[in-house]
Structure 1
Amino acid sequence: TEEQLYQLKGRLCGESIFKTGKAMADPSKMIINLALFGTTQSGKSSAGNILLGSADFLSSFAPCSVTQDCSLGCSCHLRSFMRRRGQEVTLQVRVLDTPGYPHSRLSKKNVKQEVRDALARHFGQEGLHLALLVQRADVPFCGQDATYPVQMIQELLGHAWKNYTAILFTHAEKIEEAGFNEDTYLHEAPDTLLTLLNSIQHKYVFQYKKGKSLSEQRMKILERIMEFIKENCYQVLTFK
């Protein structure tokens, strides 16, 4: 059964994992917990607002880091978003926005401790379904700055990080403006990005702004994210 498969996969991962309490209590409702990671001005807060369908997070262009503290946002209920076991499921999304690094005001140690505390505070019991590495599609993924958020994910999520990480490419409309499509873009990507994609089993999604309504962007991204979560048998990663 799905439950037996879930328990078996949990033992194989060697992590303390379980379904969210609310999902178990009411199979017609599901809460997914997401955390955003990325460099400064990668578009984390903007992506978080799209995922929530609101404007919970301050998002603006600035010559310095905008996000100083971790912040949790909760969406309204998306009714009949999906079907599971023959039943329509109402979805709620919870997103943790985090400070980027390198940060214009905070040290790497401070950023990591802030995120560590927030993960334990918000997802310590209910668990994290997915960490989203937010990466600008129009900025090459190379150099030490690009790999800092990946290192942080590895340190905070532990050895199971590969199963709970996906990449969200922001500013994907720049790909089309440059005459690429998603496949050719990834084909031309640097080895550092290709290696990361291989490590996380090619879990990625592109976020377009131009030519698409916020609702269309949101639904497409959430549908893709739910595919990743389903591949994990709806498991979560908990933080002690």
Structure 2
Amino acid sequence: MMDTNKMVINLALFGGTQSGKSSAGNILLGSTEFHTSFSPSSVTQDCSLGRSCHLRSFMRRAGREVSLQVQVLDTPGYPHSKLSLEQVKQVLRRALDHHFGQEGLHLALLVQRADVPFCGREAPYHAQLIQELLGHAWKYHTAVLFTHAERIEEAGSSESEYLREAPDGLLSLLNSVQKRYVFQYKKASSFNEQRMKILERIVEFIKENHYQVLTFK
């Protein structure tokens, strides 16, 4: 953050196949940078970095208006229909080193579908993978992003009720990342509003870390 009137935040998306990582990345960027499609197999096979346009006057710091630019790394999920676990790890390590090796990563987002029952197997594994990639400080630089949260409202429920009914495995995951989580609602009518709410919450998480980053060099 060399320019005090401009802030760049670096994010990486992790999670299972068809969890909605690429769609979440597009919402964060406010674009269609990442390819998405309904498919019986894994869609993303390599990592790619997307950059948003500058959001003018996103916040104020020291009495000055600050613009925000978001950089998002989209990654292949696991289990993967074409890549082994070791291949996925190699792809992730190479991308983290290339894109955030010196500049640093502010936050990893573990993408979890809100409309799929949490059985306690895959998500802890993905958390373990993030821990392996980011090191001992992973829990301070990770948040859970619940996609398809509109299904909660469609079921006549709310975020608070959803979390009250959450199984112990999910609660343990949220506790391990300091209860950093955000819900994403995929509604065309409120796309920009949802994007801003998610980004504001993510920036709050980054502020809690005093804007510190993880580097990979």
TM range (shorter): over 0.9
Matched, 1:204 2:181: yes
Q: Are the equivalent residues in 2 in contact too, given 1:102–1:148 (CA < 8 A)?
A: no
Question: After TM superposition, what 4+ stretches of structure 1 lie above 4 angstroms from structure 2?
Answer: none
User: What's 1:137 paired with?
Assistant: 114
Q: Are the equivalent residues in 2 in contact too, given 1:165–1:200 (CA < 8 A)?
A: yes
Structure 2 counterpart of 1:100, one-letter code = G
Q: CA RMSD for the aligned pairs?
A: 1.0
Matched, 1:219 2:196: yes
Secondary structure of the corresponding residue to residue 159 of structure 1: coil
Structure 2 counterpart of 1:214, one-letter code = F
Alignment of 1:71-90 (within 5 A): 71-90=48-67
> Hey, what's the Cα distance between the residues in 2 that align with 1:95 and 1:211?
21
Matched, 1:63 2:40: yes
**TM-score w.r.t. length of structure 2:** 0.97
Question: Which of the numbers 191, 202, 205 marks the counterpart of 1:228?
Answer: 205
Q: Which runs of 5+ in 2 are unaligned?
A: none
Structure 2 counterpart of 1:86, one-letter code = G
Matched, 1:114 2:91: yes
Structure 1 counterpart of 2:77, one-letter code = G
Give 1:211 deviation, angstroms.
6.3
> Hey, what's the Cα distance between the residues in 2 that align with 1:144 and 1:109?
19
**TM-score w.r.t. length of structure 1:** 0.88
Question: Which of the numbers 101, 106, 114 marks the counterpart of 2:78?
Answer: 101
User: What's 2:16 paired with?
Assistant: 39
Per-residue CA distance 1:104-155 (angstroms, 9 max, x = gap)? 0000111011001100100001100000001000112224333332111010
Q: Which runs of 5+ in 1 are unaligned?
A: 1-22
Structure 2 counterpart of 1:119, one-letter code = L
Quick one: percent identity of the two aligned structures?
76
> Hey, what's the Cα distance between the residues in 1 that align with 2:144 and 2:26?
17
> More helix per residue: 1 or 2?
1
> Hey, what's the Cα distance between the residues in 1 that align with 2:210 and 2:41?
39
Per-residue CA distance 1:156-202 (angstroms, 9 max, x = gap)? 01110000000110000111111210011001111111001111111
Structure 2 counterpart of 1:26, one-letter code = D
Give 1:85 deviation, angstroms.
1.7
> Hey, what's the Cα distance between the residues in 2 that align with 1:62 and 1:90?
37
Structure 2 counterpart of 1:179, one-letter code = G
